[in-house]
Chain A
Amino acid sequence: MRAATRHLLSIADLGAAGIEELLRLSDSFVEVSLRAIPKVPALRGKTVATLFAEDSTRTRLSFETAARRLSADVMTFHAASASTRKGESLRDTAETLAAMGVDAFVVRHSCAGVPVQVARWVDACVVNAGDGAHEHPTQALLDCVTLRQVLAERDGRAVEDCGVEAFEGLRVAIVGDVRHSRVARSEVLALSALGAVVTLVAPGSLLPPSLDGWPVEVSHDLDEVLGSTDVCYLLRLQVERGTAARVPTAHEYSTFYGLNARRARSMPEGAVVMHPGPVVRGLEISSEVADMPRALIRRQVSNGVALRMAVLFWLLGPDRIGLEGPDMDRIGAGHPGSTGDALVEVGGA
């Protein structure tokens, strides 16, 4: 029996327990991704629709790959290029797709709140794949997956043995266009829920107008912050949202807030650099830094598929797992100790 329809609209809906559950679920799917045939039948018969009204090929492909690896059927809708151009409203589009039998919508839109609205309009699960400057929950979660792997490696532990308590006291600097960044909002919620200490580093004109209630420190001096930072998280300057008028010149921004090799070397031993992509080399990050071993950018991307598999499974899987405790056996992912009774691996090893 399905309880109230579950959605992933904001990190705030998850809390630390929900985040931990999704991280642990994703461990199993990371393992699946490494197989010769990286596919499980967990969501066979389910339909996942990607409803993207803003171009983002990377995120859409990541979700669609995740859905296919779970054996779900995938429906792709580019709102920017189809019915909406003929004047159909987003609500009509969503309701029309829902009428075809969609179990989960993955929604991306340039306006904040659209996934929340879609969740009100249709009777299906909704995943926020990025909405305006609001949130991008799966980005924050996949970054937590990546950081947890790094923390486990640092301590010489298996990632499964690394609980979220490892995030406690982790010093994270989020640098750049926080004002327009949905990634930053999800990142702040997720990292602070796990006990990390977050510092926003940006000129005043790129900070949100109010930081009331944000569990963050603020600095305007990147050099000062970097010496005591474990994770330097760089944000892309969102020129399409009017950032250009908020800094005098790209050169000035790069001079004061760009991560160049000199700055990267001033970070503590073992500190890492992250970026949600797409990277603009030479602006927020220099090419040299982007290619340093401490830059986790590629790893973030590869963890994206596993995390999104975890999210889709969490929303749509059989015997949907409750927040009270994940049961790895149910995913049939060949997790060590799994009985694998519910599901059979496609293609048989």
Chain B
Amino acid sequence: MPEGSNAGEPLLAILGGTVVDALGERRADVLVAGTAIVEVGEGLEVPTGARRLDAEGCVVAPGLVDLHAHLREPGFEESETLETGARAAALGGYTAVVAMPNTDPPVDGAAVVHHVRTLAAKATCRVEVAGCITAGRGGERLAPMAEMAEVGVRIFTDDGAGVQDGDLMRRALEYARGLGVTLAQHCEDASLAAGGHMHEGSWSSRLGVPGIPAAAEEAMVARDIALARLTGGRLHLLHVSSAGSLGLVAAAKAEGIALSAEVAPHHLALSDAALAGFDPVFKVNPPLRSPRHVLALREACASGLVDAIATDHAPHPPEAKDLPLEHAAFGMLGLQTALPVAIGALCRGLPAFGTAPDDHAGPSHMSLANLLGLLSWGPARIAGIALDQGGDQGGPLVAGGPANICVIDPGATWTVDPAQLASRSSNTPYAGWELQGALRHTVFRGEPVVVDGQAQR
């Protein structure tokens, strides 16, 4: 038995894979005892009694971290629960997700934070609770952020809506600065977006569907960058979807403003042409945009301008989706498909759905290592749960480190069957798609919660 492990602790050996983390890439086995990695190296001797996880031909990486998931509990358990959402996350390779606070009641005080944590105590991944910026997500007065920060909340958002009142957002940033927490904005000017159901452009004009202009997002991105400059508060931009926003982010970063930005996999893989059949499964906010925006987002991922890929996993029951497009809810599932969808868009350069094959798929093809940075150690840092922030996410995979690990078979293909997904809902836009890149195993705090693609509990 390796040194440092306690007798009786379960042993796990991940064998024959290639470890990829922020330190680089190397052929290595990984030995886990209890909740910690005890040894990483080539051709390790496997102690008797250890459970062997085959990783031949696979990439062994730090568990993925999702900055943006709607787990719906409490209040909307017909769509998702912390248990089903966390299972979907584990099956997608995630060992941590940030749960959005637009529940019922919304997470706008320490009591609700505690409640969600209790509900998530046995979840198959770490559930990091985000708090509201404004009380009740009402957009009128500040939520008790200090109270929530004191019990460990690191990220605040009114996601689902942006904070419309500029002065209120200014005060929130000023207040947050003193707490050392991050404000995550759903950038959307409500007056410009009002009544819209898809991206405003040639498709919406042709289909006669009221649109949401990219300007609705860009206007708030511009305002919030100005407010971040004014206040010195730390700002994170949720699901950035427009080329214009990226230009503003690039300028702000060049200026040294404390700012991070995420993009969602569906904005990399799908375009507004997907709405041509009026299928509400493709209705999401921010909306699927035109190919020009899709390409700009891909470029921004490759260039490093974007800091994270986050799912915006948004489960909805059929009664909220099987409706006229203009009455259906916004949102789509993401946790179980994010990795292969991102591999397809960024590493393999597949054309976005709805674009012509020669509509050039995008810029350079990203390496899987760089993509994993956007899915794991990048977002871990934004969530404040990276190793050097006192957390246990994002790796690297080294002896003594926490055993939050995913094993990916990048070449394996699988077909998305909505009924087979772990989520309580089935509103995936990829039904019937053959995806390349399959999650093989997920180890959460030393426990193999997914083995050979099957959830263990």
Interface residues of A (CB under 8 A from B): 89-91, 109, 111-114, 116-117, 120, 131-135, 180, 182, 185, 208-214, 242
A111 touches B326 (CB 8 A): yes
**List of A residues within 8 angstroms of B211 by Cβ:** 209
What are 8 A-B residue pairs whose CB atoms fall within 8 Å in the complex? A111-B324, A112-B208, A112-B325, A113-B325, A209-B200, A210-B200, A210-B205, A212-B202
Tell me the bound Cα distance from A210 to B200 in angstroms.
8
B203, closest chain A residue (CB): A210
Known contacts A209-B213, A213-B206: A91-B200 contact under CB 8 Å: no
Q: Kindly name the residue among B200, B279, B326 whose own CB sees the greatest number of chain A CB atoms within 10 A.
A: B326
Tell me the bound Cα distance from A133 to B210 in angstroms.
9
**List of A residues within 8 angstroms of B325 by Cβ:** 111-113, 117
A115, closest chain B residue (CB): B278
Known contacts A111-B327, A112-B325, A114-B324: A134-B205 contact under CB 8 Å: no
Q: Which 9 A-B pairs have the closest CB atoms?
A: A113-B278, A133-B208, A208-B205, A111-B324, A134-B208, A212-B202, A111-B326, A210-B205, A112-B208
B201 touches A132 (CB 8 A): no
B230 at interface (Cβ–Cβ under 8 A)? no
B323 touches A90 (CB 8 A): yes
A91 touches B206 (CB 8 A): no
A209 touches B323 (CB 8 A): no
- Distance in angstroms from B250 CB to nearest chain A CB is 26
A182 touches B324 (CB 8 A): no
B200 touches A134 (CB 8 A): no
**List of A residues within 8 angstroms of B324 by Cβ:** 90, 109, 111, 113-114, 117
Tell me the bound Cα distance from A112 to B211 in angstroms.
12
Tell me the bound Cα distance from A213 to B36 in angstroms.
59
B434 at interface (Cβ–Cβ under 8 A)? no
Tell me the bound Cα distance from A89 to B327 in angstroms.
11
Tell me the bound Cα distance from A95 to B327 in angstroms.
19
- Distance in angstroms from A348 CB to nearest chain B CB is 46
A209 touches B206 (CB 8 A): no
How many chain B residues touch A (Cβ–Cβ < 8 Å)?
23
What's the dominant secondary structure at chain B's contact region?
loop
**List of B residues within 8 angstroms of A180 by Cβ:** 208
What's the dominant secondary structure at chain A's contact region?
loop
A-B CB pair tally, cutoff 8 Å: 71
Tell me the bound Cα distance from A213 to B204 in angstroms.
12
B208 touches A135 (CB 8 A): yes
B390 at interface (Cβ–Cβ under 8 A)? no
- Contact for B208 among A182, A210, A211, CB less than 8 A: A182
Tell me the bound Cα distance from A132 to B205 in angstroms.
12
**List of B residues within 8 angstroms of A185 by Cβ:** 206, 208
- Distance in angstroms from B277 CB to nearest chain A CB is 6
A113 touches B205 (CB 8 A): no
**List of B residues within 8 angstroms of A208 by Cβ:** 205-206
Interface residues of B in 253-304 (CB under 8 A from A): 277-279
Q: Kindly name the residue among B204, B206, B210, B213 whose own CB sees the greatest number of chain A CB atoms within 10 A.
A: B206
Tell me the bound Cα distance from A120 to B324 in angstroms.
12
B209 touches A213 (CB 8 A): no
B207 at interface (Cβ–Cβ under 8 A)? yes
Known contacts A111-B324, A113-B325: A134-B209 contact under CB 8 Å: yes
- Distance in angstroms from B53 CB to nearest chain A CB is 43
**List of B residues within 8 angstroms of A214 by Cβ:** 205-206
**List of B residues within 8 angstroms of A134 by Cβ:** 207-209
B388 at interface (Cβ–Cβ under 8 A)? no
A211 touches B278 (CB 8 A): no
**List of B residues within 8 angstroms of A213 by Cβ:** 202, 206
A113 touches B206 (CB 8 A): no
- Distance in angstroms from A189 CB to nearest chain B CB is 9
B324, closest chain A residue (CB): A111
Interface residues of B in 301-328 (CB under 8 A from A): 319, 322-327
Tell me the bound Cα distance from A133 to B197 in angstroms.
13
A184, closest chain B residue (CB): B208
Interface residues of B in 175-219 (CB under 8 A from A): 195, 200-202, 204-211, 213
- Distance in angstroms from A310 CB to nearest chain B CB is 25
**List of A residues within 8 angstroms of B213 by Cβ:** 209
Tell me the bound Cα distance from A135 to B276 in angstroms.
13
A210 touches B202 (CB 8 A): yes
Tell me the bound Cα distance from A137 to B202 in angstroms.
20
B205, closest chain A residue (CB): A208
Known contacts A209-B200, A210-B200: A112-B278 contact under CB 8 Å: yes
